[in-house]
Structure formats: C-alpha cells, structure tokens
Chains A and B, each alone.
Chain A
Amino acid sequence: MPSVVPVARPGAPQPQARRLPALLWPVLALALLLAFNGLFTAGFFQILVRDGHLYGSLIDLLNRAAPIMLCALGMTLVIATAGVDLSVGAVMAIAGSVAAYLLIGHGVPLHAAIVLTLAACLVAGLWNGTLVAVCGVQPIVATLVLMVAGRGIAQLITGGQIPLFDTAAPAFGFIGRGHFALLPFSITIVAGVLGVAALLTRRTALGLFIESVGNSESASRYAGVSARLVKLFAYGFCGLCAGVAGLIAASNIMGADANQSGLYMELDAILAVVIGGTSLTGGRFSLVGAVVGALVIQALNLTIVRRNVQPEYNQVVKAVVVLILCLLQSAHGRTLARRGLAYLCRRLWSLVARLRGLGERRATA
C-alpha cells in the first residue's frame, strides 16, 4: 500500500521513547469523550452492584466494544506484518452461521460447537494467510476474496434465514450476556485474548519476528525468520479473534444474522488499530493501543446516541477523525501542522506588537 517504506530507524532507545506519547493520544481522546459524557449525562460514571454484577454506562461501554476490541487485536498483528485483513466482518458472519448450524441444526453440545466454530474461523484466517504468505498475493486483494464470498458462505450455511438460539441452545446466551466474576463475560473473553496475545508477542520472540517481517520481509528472511510462518500465524490469529467476536455478536442478539453481523467491522477494526498508534506501514504495534482505539470508537458511538444527535452523523464524525489521525500520523502532515502553528503564532505576535506600538504612539501623541 504505501509507496514509501521507512528505511532505517536509527537508535535503539527511540521506540521506547516514542511508545509513551503514541499511547497518550488515544487515551487522551478516550478521556475527553468520557468526560464529555460525564458532564452531560447524569450518573454516567456511576457503577452499581446488583445481584453480584456490575452495572453502569462504563460497563455497558466495555461490553458493547467487545467485538470491536477482539477484531482490532487480531487486526493489529496482521497490520504489524504490513498487511491488512478485510474479511473480519465476513468471518464474524461465518462464525454465527456455523454456530447456528451446529447448535440448532444438529444439536451438538455447546462446548464442542464453540470449538468447532473457532476451528472453522481459524481455517478462514489461515486461508487468508496462505494466499498472502504462500501465494504472494497483496493482502488487500487476498482478503477481498473472503470479504466478497464470506457473507455468501454464511448465508449458504443458514439457508438465508436468521436462526434463533433461544429454544435450541439457551446456554449460548452466556457468551454475550452472561456474567463472570462481577463483569460481563465478554469482557473476560477480551481480557483473556489480550493476555494471551500480549504473552505471546511480548514474552516470546514472536512479537519481534512480527515487527521484523513488517519492517522488511527480505531482511528478516536473511536473518533466518520465516516470514511465511509469521504471516500465517498473524492471519490465523486474526481469523480466530474475528470468530470469537462473531460468537459474541450472535450471542448478543441470540441469532445468526448473516447479513448484518459484523457489517463494516473491518473498517472499525482498522480504524481502532490506527487510533491506537499502530502504523499502517507495519513494523510497530501496540495491542493495548488497539483496545483503547476500539473503546474510543465505541465511546464515539455512545456519545452520538446519548446526545440525541442523528446516528447518521456518526459516519461523518468518524470520517473526520480518520482524516485527522491520518494527517497526524504522516510525518509530512506533522511538519505542515507545526509550520502552520508557528506561522499563526508569528502573525499573532506581530499583531500584538503592532497594537502595542499603536497604543504607545497614541500615548505619546
């Protein structure tokens, strides 16, 4: 995608120094959005304990953001290898449909059904990975195939209907609606996936491999890193995350809607990753940033709904946010912004000086 690849990043301690402000901006944006809501919505920060569960707007926010957070986590690793996965929305739809097929159509026990569904999503992710890593197809194109065909496959599995889980598998609702140790179960899932991903990428060499492949595939190959395996892992993990997100989404509405489940999720997920400070050119990633980015998006959605703004403005606001973030991410944009700011300051200063001069002259006159 990018025409200019960043070549060398001199100095080892620089990434450490840069990571802090990279995470600072999304956290600041989230805090601003939350503070705005807190000001205008009474009891926004209130968290109640009822029947041993936590209730409140903030908990609701976390719960609703779970699918975006999961997809963004998977997407982070894919983008870190300088790729992109456009099929997460379609894989979410497939997950719901496969779960419905197994649970409603064939009465498979819940645990087995979940394992089989996730296996199907892993296969979908590995399929993307194979196209990218083995066949060498551009990531956008390779994942476009599943994005186009995926919803068709999901509808094929459900026969074009929206099967409901209510009677066949009432226990399925626990994934999206249940509670586990005070918190909604979906939040526990996100925390678990985040923990596993962080452990894998920050406590083993895998994270380093992913970043090196994203920086330069040929250089890492010469260094003995199998770019093929690393990419397969990233896409497989992304498929798995999308599968879990699809299960949560299906469990939330207790139905498998192949048309609506995860619609435009790929865009939200990519946006969350970008907001979180992961560079789209690859080679550098922040898992926590992706989670915060997903929360920013969900908080934005929430703010728009709470303020009784037409939900249609949601997309306009998102567009502006994406654009500003893009401009801030590009070095050229930052330079221009700095120059513009400096220019404004100079003009302001000269204006002040002139006004002062005018005042002095009037005083002497």
Chain B
Amino acid sequence: MTLLARKHVPLAATVGVCALLYTGAALRFDGFFSWRVGVDLLADNAVLGLAAIGVTFVILSGGIDLSMGAVIGCTSIVLAELITRCGLHPLCAMLLLLTLGAGFGAGMGTIIHLFRLPPFLVTLAGMFLARGVGLVISQESVHIQHPLYQAVSDFGANTFPGTSLRILPAPALVFLAVLLVAMYVAHYTRFGRNVYAVGGSEASALLMGLPVGRTKVGVYALSGLCSALAGIVHTLYTSSGSAAEAGKLLELDAIAAVVIGGTLLSGGVGYVFGTLVGVLIFGIIQTAITFEGTLDSWWTRIAVGVLLLAFILMQRLVQSRARGRA
C-alpha cells in the first residue's frame, strides 16, 4: 500500500459503510431510494451537520468542543425573542447572532490558549453558560412568525420546474454551501494548513513559526460561528426557538459523526468531506429505523455507539500499523 492509500483508509471505510447502509436500506424498504428521502436526509440533518463541520476543525487542531448543542439552543431562543419581542428584522438578528457566536467561540479559544487549559473543561463551562443563558431568557419554546420565515418555508415546498421533484429546502442549501466553503478553507487556505499543522504537532508548528495561538482561537471561533448558524437553521427548520430542546445532546452526535467520518481525535488527520459522510450515516440509520416502524428510537443510539466503536478500533489498527512501519 502506498502512503496515500493508507491515509485514505478511514475515509474509504466510512464511504463504504455509508454506501452499504444506503443500499441495504434501499433494498429493504420501498421508497427509500427516492429523491424525497434524499432531500429529507439532508434537510433533517442540516443542524447536526453544521455543528459537526465546525467541530471538525476543532478536532483537526487537536482540541474538542462540547458547547455546540448549548450554543444552538441559546442562539435559537435569542433569535426567536429578538424577532418576536424586540421586532428586529430577522436578517439583522441573524447577523448579530453570528457575530456573537463567533465571539463566544473566540473567547473560549483565547482562554484555552492563554491559560493552557484543557479544551474539554473550558468548552464544558461554555456549554453550561450558553445553556444557562438560554434558559434564563426563556424556558418555553417561542414560535416565530415573520414574512421572511413564511417565505423560506414556502420556498422549500416548491418543485423543480417541469418535474415533481421537490427542490432543496433552505436548511439543506445552507448545509451544502457551508460544506463547500469549509472544504475550501480546510484544504486550500493558509488557515486550513495551519489547523492541520497545529493538530499534527503543536510544538513543531510553533518551531516552524506558524501562528499557533491565532489558529487555535480561530478554530474555536469558527466552531462557534458554525454552531450559531446551526441554531439559525434550526429556527428556519422548526419556525421556533427553544433553549431546552434545540440541540439537546447534539454535541455527542456531532463528535460521533466526526469520528465516524474518519477524523482522528488526536488531531491532524481527517477530512471535512468525511464529516458529511458521517452525518449521512447517522441520518440513514435514523431514517431506516423510522421506516422499519417496529424498532424503537433508542436503537439509533445503540447503532451509533456500535459504529463509533468499530471506527475507533479501526483507527487504532491503522495508526498502530502505520507506526509499526515507520
């Protein structure tokens, strides 16, 4: 095996599992292999996917972020309150929240870098803070009524001209757009290369003269931005904001999706594209269990746990073999 192939083994395995799951489900259930289910797969998992893209960068840089779910909840409730109670235009409010999300992430990143604290703990505090602030603002879910939201949900009901195929709704479009941007940033920009370098070895990156501190702060800011965007998409998807329900336990699913997507949690190795596949695997399992009807929802968690285990063990195998050759 060449070096290139070994590098791609985890990603190839993920794509293989995803294809296998999809084919299996398509053979088992009528109507699974359809445009409609495909569109729903993207739209239903857009929130998870956006958060997972953000945390991919954090994990690539060798850190971890646990605050995504809480930031999503907080963003959704603040957005709902800003629109319904303060009468702010949704676009204004969204812009404000994106800035706040990025700032929140940058704050956590600064603390992690300046005080050399474990990212696990700092983002845990961030999670408590965001969830708490969201709950303090409102415990009930707030329904959003605004012409813009109506227009967005009407837009999603359209079909492609001349066919009966439904066009992609707004959450799916945002997800795909962010995915493309993230892939560009990760693989074709200086920032992206710095992220990989810092994740590979922070000491070497420092010795090479790379801006380690700026990169680390940037990575957490990016994750905060993605989470805030995911919160906004959540309000588009459900037309409401909720501090308690939006993004509940989502940080776990997002990290699981990233790991299943072939990104090493030790940092430095992985692809943003893998995260998309990981999220799709998650979505396919969930959809298949809904199609099955007799299976209960907790099977999703067990299935994801088993997949997570399989991928972690495979990663260990690939790593130890690579080390054995080196």
Contacts and interface: CB of A to CB of B under 8 A. Distances in A.
Contact of A280 (B118, B131, B132): B118
B178 interface: no
Interface centre among A3, A131, A155 (most CB of B within 10 A): A3
Interface string B117-129: 1111110111111
Contact of B133 (A150, A153, A316): A316
A330 B119 CA distance: 13
Given A141-B265, A153-B302, A322-B124, A314 B132 contact: yes
A148 interface: yes
A280 B117 CA distance: 10
Interface string A326-338: 1101101100100
A305 to B, nearest CB: 15
A348 interface: no
B62 A315 contact: no
A31 B127 CA distance: 27
B173 to A, nearest CB: 29
Interface string A127-155: 00001000111101110111111111101
B252 interface: yes
A140 B125 contact: no
Contacts, number: 133
A114 interface: no
A157 B308 CA distance: 21
B301 A152 contact: yes
A10 interface: no
Contacts of A352: none
Contacts of B304: 148-149
The B interface, classified by DSSP as helix, strand, loop or mixed, is helix
Interface residues of B, number: 47
Contacts of B253: 148
Given A145-B308, A319-B132, A326 B125 contact: yes
B129 A319 contact: yes
A310 B308 CA distance: 38
Contacts of B308: 144-145, 148-149
Nearest to A1: B118
A141 B302 CA distance: 16
B116 A140 contact: no
A208 B264 CA distance: 32
B241 to A, nearest CB: 15
B188 interface: no
Nearest to A310: B136
A332 B128 contact: no
A267 interface: yes
Contacts of A3: 62, 116, 202
For chain A, which range describes its interface: under 10, 10 to 19, 20 to 34, or 35 or more residues? 35 or more
Interface string A319-353: 11011001101101100100000000000000000
A135 B316 contact: yes
Nearest to B315: A137
A334 B93 CA distance: 38
Contacts of B111: 323, 326-327
The A interface, classified by DSSP as helix, strand, loop or mixed, is helix
A84 interface: yes
A152 B302 contact: yes
Nearest to A327: B115
B289 to A, nearest CB: 11
B316 A152 contact: no
A274 interface: yes
A322 B128 contact: yes
A152 B298 contact: yes
Contacts of A152: 298-302, 305
Contacts of A333: 115, 117
A4 interface: yes
B118 A2 contact: yes
Nearest to A267: B124
A288 B298 CA distance: 37
A274 B302 contact: no
B135 interface: yes
Given A148-B252, A319-B129, A280 B316 contact: no
A146 B305 contact: yes
Contacts of B26: none
Nearest to A141: B265
A142 B266 CA distance: 13
Contacts of A267: 124, 128
B11 interface: no
Interface in B94-151: 111, 114-122, 124-129, 131-133, 135-136, 139
A142 B305 contact: no
B135 A151 contact: no
Interface string B241-267: 000000000001101100100000110
B36 to A, nearest CB: 28
A152 B253 CA distance: 13
A316 B132 contact: yes
B27 interface: no
A157 B119 CA distance: 35
Contacts of A142: 312
A149 B119 CA distance: 24
A136 B321 CA distance: 13
A160 interface: yes
Query: Nearest 9 A-B pairs (CB), nearest first?
Result: A149-B305, A315-B132, A152-B301, A316-B132, A319-B128, A312-B135, A319-B129, A155-B298, A152-B302
18 contacts: A2-B116, A84-B120, A135-B313, A136-B320, A138-B265, A141-B259, A145-B305, A146-B305, A152-B298, A152-B302, A156-B296, A313-B136, A316-B129, A317-B132, A322-B121, A322-B124, A326-B117, A329-B117
Given A149-B306, A151-B298, A160-B298, 17 more contacts: A84-B120, A136-B320, A141-B259, A146-B305, A148-B256, A149-B301, A156-B298, A280-B118, A313-B132, A315-B135, A319-B128, A319-B132, A320-B129, A323-B111, A326-B125, A333-B115, A336-B115
